[in-house]
């Protein structure tokens, strides 16, 4: 009978178990719902809205930024960058904004964003105060009307063109597509940072 020492084997197996556990924790924190659902999209669908007020503040200083995986959004409030986890949003409150039915985040799940994150996310974002075009050809315009200071939200693709709303004496600007091109975030100066599900908005009559 061969005499094999169990010591080295046990050490190797224990090390492998630790590595696998670490990988599992990493995957669980960086991938979406295992059922393939988008928690924010599910919450918006349940409420029957295509737009939400993600951050309520009149002190947003710069355009919002998306993380490369479309999960986090960074918002600059009074010179300090905060990070919000959109996948943690599972319920929304009903609200009205300029006559439109929208959702509002009940609990802001914000944390401090790092300098490295902001630098990296800025490099991935288009910077245009009034319009942005996705890789798939969807164009979002936030057109300001000087006569009444309102802003119109217009989405278009090819021959399709639709005005979603007019803000009524509120300046809205800095549209930014999420990297997965499902959402566009923008600022309305009297309220804060909004997010619109573009595909859901296009589907509405």
Segment 18-60, tens digit of pLDDT: 434 444 444 433 444 443 578 999 999 999 999 999 999 999 9
Q: How far is CA 117 from CA 8, 58, 60, in A?
A: 41, 24, 18
- The mean pLDDT of the chain is 83
- In which order are the strands placed within the sheet that holds 160-166? 131-133, 139-145, 150-157, 160-166
Q: pTM score, two decimals?
A: 0.80
Least trusted range by pLDDT, from 34-48, 71-85, 132-146, 155-169: 34-48
Q: Is the pLDDT of residue 162 over 70?
A: yes
- The arithmetic mean of pLDDT across residues 106-116, rounded, is 87
- What's the chain's Rg over C-alpha atoms? 21
Q: Dig out the tokens for 44 from the structure.
A: 């918006």
Residue 168 binned pLDDT confidence (cut-offs 50, 70, 90): confident
From the CB of residue 193, how many other CB atoms can be counted at a distance below 10 Å?
25
């Amino acid at each position: 009978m061969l005499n094999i020492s169990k010591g080295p084997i046990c050490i190797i197996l224990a090390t492998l178990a630790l590595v696998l556990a670490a990988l599992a924790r990493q995957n669980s924190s960086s991938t979406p719902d295992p059922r393939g659902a988008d928690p924010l999209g599910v919450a918006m669908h349940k409420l029957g809205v295509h737009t939400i007020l993600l951050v309520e503040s009149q002190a947003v200083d710069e355009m919002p930024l998306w993380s490369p995986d479309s999960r986090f959004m960074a918002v600059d409030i009074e010179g300090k960058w905060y990070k919000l986890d959109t996948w943690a949003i599972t319920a929304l409150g009903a609200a009205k904004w300029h006559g439109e039915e929208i959702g509002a985040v009940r609990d802001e799940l914000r944390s401090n964003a790092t300098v490295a994150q902001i630098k990296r996310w800025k490099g991935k974002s288009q910077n245009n105060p009034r319009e942005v075009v996705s890789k798939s050809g969807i164009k979002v315009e936030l057109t300001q009307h000087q006569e009444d200071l309102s802003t119109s939200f217009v989405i278009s693709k090819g021959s399709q063109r639709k005005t979603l709303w007019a803000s009524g004496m509120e300046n809205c600007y800095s549209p930014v597509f999420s990297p997965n091109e499902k959402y566009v975030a923008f600022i309305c100066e009297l309220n804060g940072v909004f997010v619109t599900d573009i595909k859901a908005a296009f589907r509405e009559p």
